[in-house]
Amino acid sequence: MDKKTAEEKMGLLESYIAKHSLWQYNSRGWDRELQNEHILGKTKQILCGEKARENDSYSDKYYWSEAKTLVDAFNKYFPWLKETSKEDIAVIMQMLKDKMDYTMIKGSLNKELTKEQY
């Protein structure tokens, strides 16, 4: 898959997340980093048929639940994912995480993200 196609596909996934997923909007930057890393990481693992559960802790269950719900939606709205190779999915998901890290954290204009305490 060429870069432009990957970017277009990533954009579709990003648009869906921006509109539907509340987990990306936690109020602190460090918290958003954790959310992006765990939920998008597990989403990629599920899409690529990899093991996505690490342990039986509540937090791992939580991240997996968000990821599983996201995968359901991706499969419903973006049927091309089923025909995309695991390698390409991994590339798209990495681009997605980089983009979300920028939009929601590094490039964000939200001044509350850098406050230390809740």
Partner 1 sequence: MPYHEFECSKCIPERLHHAVDKNKGEELTDALPLGYLGTIPGTISERGCAYCGAKHVIGTPMKDVIHLSHGPIGCTYDTWQTKRYISDDGNFQLKYTFASNMKESHIVFGAGGMLKKNIIEAFKAFPSIKRMTIYQTCASALIGDDIDAVASEVMEEMPDVKIFTCHSPGFAGPSQSGGHHKINLAWLSQMVGTGEPEIWSKYVINYVGEYNIQGDQEMMRDYFFRMGIQILSTFTGNGHFDDLRCMHRAQLNVLECARSAEYICDELRVRYGIPRMDIDGFGFEATSDSLMKIGYFFGIEDKARQVIEEETARWKPELDWYAARLKGVKVCLWPGGSKLWHWAHSIHSEMGVDVVSVYTKFGHQGDMEKGISRCEPGALAIDDPNELESIEAMYKLKPDVIFTGKRPGEVAKKIRVPYLNAHGYHNGPYKGYEGWVRFARDIYNAVYSPIHKLSLLDISKDEIPTDKGFETPQMFSDVNLSDEIKNSDVLRKCTSKFDPIPGYRAKMQKNEYLFPDPVTGELRTVPLEKLLKNKVVDVEQE
| Rounded (10°) angle between helices 3-20 and 86-101 | 60
Q: Which of 37, 72, 75, 85 binds partner 1 (CB under 8 A)?
A: 72
Dihedral of the alpha carbons of 101, 5, 8, 34, in degrees to the nearest 10? -20
By CB under 8 A, residue 65 contacts partner 1: yes
Residue partners of 6: CB distance under 8 A and separation at least 6: 88, 91, 92, 95
Residue partners of 102: CB distance under 8 A and separation at least 6: none
By CB under 8 A, residue 110 contacts partner 1: yes
Binding segment for partner 1 among 1-9, 12-20, 78-86, 87-95 (CB under 8 A)?
Answer: 12-20
Q: Which of 5, 8, 18, 114 binds partner 1 (CB under 8 A)?
A: 18
Closest contact distance (angstroms) between CB of 11 and partner 1 is 11
- What are the residues binding partner 1 (CB under 8 A)? 18-20, 22-23, 25-27, 31, 57-59, 61-62, 64-66, 68-69, 72-73, 102-104, 107-112, 118
